[in-house]
């Protein structure tokens, strides 16, 4: 520990500043009367909790002249850090999910649906199959909690007879997603959870995109009177969504990809292309389509 440094005030006082008092048990004893000496170091309860700038101002208000060396000595001895040890920022890996078949990866999230009453919202729970973009299950409730998430997933996992080690479920870090009841259910079914990085919505882009599709639909009323009205509108919308071409899966429909009916559908447009090529080969300079 440094022995300290001495500054003399205009009133004739001398101040010995110990470099280890700041945010530790080794503090400078500030004597309000008498003459200070360079070697005065003690455990003063009235100053040990002071921040450097607060003590700096307090000493100067008492007529004690303290220069910027005050801070340099403290900083050199490591006495200007945090009051307690701080946890370092966590490092979270970017999630990488590869879906090569239906029921390999699911993604889910919860989105708010406005109601006619100000500041009151409904909650749309929605599970998507990443491979086919097929809606596995959905639910609308006035509440958002882990118990409802557990109920929805228990129904979905049971309905599709999901076996242990077959499925990975991706989600963000919202309260229902990290609830113990929900996570215990996934563990019981042998489902592996995957989480987005904190405060990054684009790690769950598929679910976020689906919610935009729902809310930007031309027929979406924007606000709903109650959960029953929201369910009455959402049910036919989901049925229509399952049967319409999806850009993310080469403009096949989610239902066709999910149920494995791509081959017969693929042959139809290819047959039309082959027929057009046979009739007008000059229009295909690069060869058959």
Longest dimension (CA), the chain: 110
Task: Show the 3-state SS of the chain.
Answer: CCCCEEEECCCCCEEEECCCCCCCCCECCCCCCCCCCCCCCECCCCCCCCCHHHHHHHHHHCCCCCCCHHHHHHHHCCCCCCCCCCCCCCCCCCCCCCCCCCCCEEEEEEEEEEECCCCCEEEEEEEEECCCCCEEEEEEECCCCHHHHHHHHHHHHHHCCCCCCCCEEEECCCHHHHCHHHHHHHHHCCCEEEECCCCCHHHHHHHHHHHHHHHCCCCCCCCECCHHHHHHHHHHHHHHHHCCCEHHHCCECHHHHHCCCHHHHHHHHHHHHHHHHHHCHHHCCCCCC
Beta bridge partners of residue 148, listed in sequence order: none
Output the pTM of the full model: 0.70
Distance CA 278, CA 157 (A): 49
* Domain with residues 105-244, CATH architecture: 2-Layer Sandwich (3.30)
Q: Work out the number of other CB atoms within 10 angstroms of the CB of residue 32.
A: 8
Distance CA 262, CA 103 (A): 17
Mean of pLDDT values over 146-174: 96
Banded model confidence at residue 146, pLDDT cuts 50, 70, 90: very high
Banded model confidence at residue 50, pLDDT cuts 50, 70, 90: low
Instruction: Quote the pLDDT of residue 175.
Output: 95
- For 132, phi then psi, to 5°, come to -115, -10
110 pLDDT above the threshold of 60 = yes
43 pLDDT above the threshold of 60 = no
Geometric angle at alpha carbon 18, from 16 and 22, rounded to 5°: 135
Instruction: Quote the pLDDT of residue 223.
Output: 95
pLDDT: is 6 or 134 the higher one?
Answer: 134
Distance CA 183, CA 171 (A): 12
The CATH 3.30.420.10 portion of the chain extends over 105-244
Banded model confidence at residue 22, pLDDT cuts 50, 70, 90: very low
- For 277, phi then psi, to 5°, come to -65, -40
Contact (Cβ atoms closer than 8 angstroms) between residue 148 and residue 176? yes
Q: Mind listing the pLDDT tens digit for each residue in 72-82? A: 766 776 766 77
Mean of pLDDT values over 194-219: 90
Positive or negative torsion for Cα 155, 161, 163, 169: negative
């Amino acid at each position: 520990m440094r022995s300290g440094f001495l500054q003399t005030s205009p009133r004739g006082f001398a101040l010995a500043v110990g470099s280890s008092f700041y945010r530790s048990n080794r503090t400078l004893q500030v004597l309000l009367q008498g003459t200070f000496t360079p070697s005065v170091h003690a455990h003063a309860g009235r100053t040990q909790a002071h921040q450097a700038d607060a003590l700096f101002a307090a000493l100067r208000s008492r007529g004690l002249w303290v220069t910027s060396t005050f801070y340099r000595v403290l900083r050199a001895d490591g006495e200007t850090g945090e009051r307690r040890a701080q946890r370092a920022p966590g490092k979270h890996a970017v999630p990488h999910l590869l879906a090569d078949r239906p029921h390999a990866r699911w993604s889910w999230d919860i989105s708010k649906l406005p109601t006619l009453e100000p500041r009151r919202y409904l909650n749309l729970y929605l599970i998507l199959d990443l491979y086919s973009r097929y809606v596995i299950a959905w639910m609308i409730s006035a509440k958002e909690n882990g118990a409802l998430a557990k109920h929805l997933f228990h129904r979905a996992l049971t309905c599709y007879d999901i076996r242990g080690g077959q499925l990975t479920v991706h989600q963000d870090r919202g309260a229902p997603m990290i609830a113990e009841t929900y996570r215990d259910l996934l563990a019981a079914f042998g489902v592996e959870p995957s989480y987005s990085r904190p405060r990054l919505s684009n790690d769950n882009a598929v679910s976020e995109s689906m919610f935009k599709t729902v809310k930007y639909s031309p027929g979406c009323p924007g606000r709903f009177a109650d959960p029953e009205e929201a369910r009455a509108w959402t049910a036919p919308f989901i049925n229509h969504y399952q049967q319409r071409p999806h850009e993310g899966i080469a403009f096949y429909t989610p239902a066709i990809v999910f149920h494995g009916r791509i081959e017969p559908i693929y042959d139809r447009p290819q047959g039309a292309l082959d027929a057009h090529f046979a009739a007008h080969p000059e229009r295909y300079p690069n060869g058959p389509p």
